[in-house]
Amino acid sequence: MFVGRHQELEQLNQVYQENDFQFTVIYGRRRIGKTSLINEFLKDKKAIYYVALEENAEDNLKRFSDAISIFKNTDQGGKEKFANFEECFKEITRLAQKQRVILVIDEFPYLAKAYPTISSMLQSYIDHEFKETNLFLILCGSSMSFMERQVLGYQSPLYGRRTLALKLEPFKLSEAHEMLPKLSKEDAFIINTVCGGVPQYLSYMSDSMSVADNIKKNFLSKSGRLFDEPNNLLQQELRDPTNYNSIINAIASGASKHSKIAQSAHLQTGPLTTYLNNLIDLGIVEKKLPVTEQKKSKSKNIVYRICDGMFRFWYTFVGKQTDLIERGLTDLAWVKVQKGLSDFMGPEFEKYSQDFMWSQDMNEKIVPNPFIHLGNWWGTDKRTHQQVELDIVGFSDDERDGYFGECKWKNEPISRSVLEKLITNSEIFKYPIKHYYLFSKSGFTDSCQELAEKINCQLFTFEKM
């Protein structure tokens, strides 16, 4: 069953309805659902669908020829052999002059590796042949760095020629809940987080099972489908994952500054920068700045965090317990997960709360003066010389209004002291008008609600967000 991606599917269909040449780029990390989206789009359409493989140019050409032959006669394939890729494109040009033709090249980076001039050849055909046809060209790839630099980037021969680019992002809670409708909202949120919002991983989960049983089955069992998934992905993407494993382990264990990661991973700072950039390209790690420093190119406050939920879960709980799991001690491994799960969910609840605030930016009852920036903040309180972290800080374009929030994914209600601390920390900032927000998994104490009413602090529980 196809779930989610409604907006992307609508965009593809809109482009398809155009009666001229169209060029769409679809990309995103492995398992994110690119092929599923394309198959759903094509379910009532005829197409030349070609999947490139990690093989030589001749073998790829043979299968490309087969795909064209199948399109020309659905009952037959492999009978027409083209001498080279240019002959393939000539035939596609001829076909697309008479009818709407969809050409999908999936895993395009593999074809470009086997046949390096393919991008320049496509550029030439787009500029001189395809533009006069009714061809709908779709290039798809899992190597995000390749697709962003070698297809969409300024240096690419294909730069500026696409009419639509779709980067598939992880599922949001609403899409995960659509996929697992029997789960409670809270359980769906947890499952989506540990799966990193990846549709294929979500498909391994059952909404007839508890969170604990789903995690035990898929992560904490030697035969679990996600027990060794990070290692599999790293080996697919990188020549030698050893140092990358050490870096991700270091970040998962609490190192966030460049120097601390280098120290923990036993690496020199120079090579570490290259490794971190590669992990950022893969969408596993992100580089973050306090929201008030977003425009700075250099800052002492740069931190690195694991942004892929499945990787963060695995390196927090699974990788450190492989000996237990290998011996079949699943229930014992779950004990550590159970103890740390609330803390693990904290950063994701912060992001969920920030996304909620963005969704309300034009709602005057919640956001009186729209903010233009909102996110995490960390730095030094010059009054006390203490380090301070704030889950939510935002500010309006005129810097008249400041927005401050605290998010707690705990099993007990937020107390008055949390709000008092938020007020104190907000005094670090000089915005004339300040607005306060608390976001809680488990509600608020009476005294917290009393203070919130006095200062007009808005309170939100997870179930009502």
Let me know if residue 228 belongs to a domain: yes
23 and 102 housed in the same domain: yes
User: Residue 393 maps to which CATH number?
Assistant: 3.40.1350.10
Task: Output the furthest CA–CA distance in the chain (Å, rounded).
Answer: 79
Predicted confidence (pLDDT) at residue 77 exceeds the cutoff of 80 = no
Let me know if residue 344 belongs to a domain: no
160 and 194 housed in the same domain: no
What percent of the chain is modeled with pLDDT above 90?
93
183 and 219 housed in the same domain: yes
Write down which residue in 109, 143, 167 finishes a domain: 167
User: Which residues contact residue 129 at a Cβ distance below 8 angstroms, ignoring those fewer than 6 apart?
Assistant: 89, 90, 93
Let me know if residue 69 belongs to a domain: yes
So what's the pLDDT on residue 172? 96
87 and 151 housed in the same domain: yes
321 and 205 housed in the same domain: yes
So what's the pLDDT on residue 361? 97
pLDDT tens, residue by residue, 8-54: 999 999 999 998 999 999 999 999 999 999 999 999 999 999 999 99
CA 30 → CA 230, 276, 387, 429, distances in Å?
Answer: 11, 19, 38, 42
So what's the pLDDT on residue 412? 97
Let me know if residue 1 belongs to a domain: no
Q: What is the DSSP letter of 444?
A: B
Count of C-beta atoms within a 10 Å radius of residue 282: 20
Residues 301, 303: Cα–Cα separation, whole Å: 6
Let me know if residue 265 belongs to a domain: yes
Q: Specify whether the CB–CB gap between 137 and 173 falls below 8 A.
A: no
**Which sign, positive or negative, has the C-alpha torsion 362, 368, 369, 371?**
negative
pLDDT tens, residue by residue, 203-222: 999 999 999 999 999 999 99
361 and 329 housed in the same domain: no
So what's the pLDDT on residue 81? 85
Residues 21, 96: Cα–Cα separation, whole Å: 9
Let me know if residue 357 belongs to a domain: yes
Residue with tokens 């209004």: 401
226 and 263 housed in the same domain: yes
Write down which residue in 167, 191, 218 finishes a domain: 167
Write down which residue in 167, 191, 220 finishes a domain: 167
380 and 231 housed in the same domain: no
pLDDT tens, residue by residue, 134-147: 999 999 999 988 99
So what's the pLDDT on residue 2? 86
Mean pLDDT within 258-284: 95
Mean pLDDT within 350-361: 98
Predicted confidence (pLDDT) at residue 78 exceeds the cutoff of 70 = no
User: Residue 103 maps to which CATH number?
Assistant: 3.40.50.300
User: Residue 225 maps to which CATH number?
Assistant: 1.10.10.10
The pLDDT confidence band at residue 74, using thresholds 50, 70 and 90, is: low
So what's the pLDDT on residue 295? 74
So what's the pLDDT on residue 298? 77
200 and 60 housed in the same domain: no
Q: How many domains, in total, are found in the chain?
A: 3
Instruction: Show the domain range for 69.
Output: 6-167
Mean pLDDT within 333-355: 98
366 and 451 housed in the same domain: yes
156 and 256 housed in the same domain: no
Let me know if residue 285 belongs to a domain: yes
33 phi-psi bin (left φ>0, alpha ψ -120 to 50, beta other): left
pLDDT tens, residue by residue, 428-463: 999 999 999 999 999 999 999 999 999 999 999 999
Residues 174, 181: Cα–Cα separation, whole Å: 10
Let me know if residue 324 belongs to a domain: yes
Torsion angle (degrees, nearest 10) of CA 413, 417, 421, 423: 90
Query: Mean pLDDT across the chain, nearest whole number?
Result: 95
The pLDDT confidence band at residue 308, using thresholds 50, 70 and 90, is: very high
27 and 140 housed in the same domain: yes
Mean pLDDT within 269-288: 95
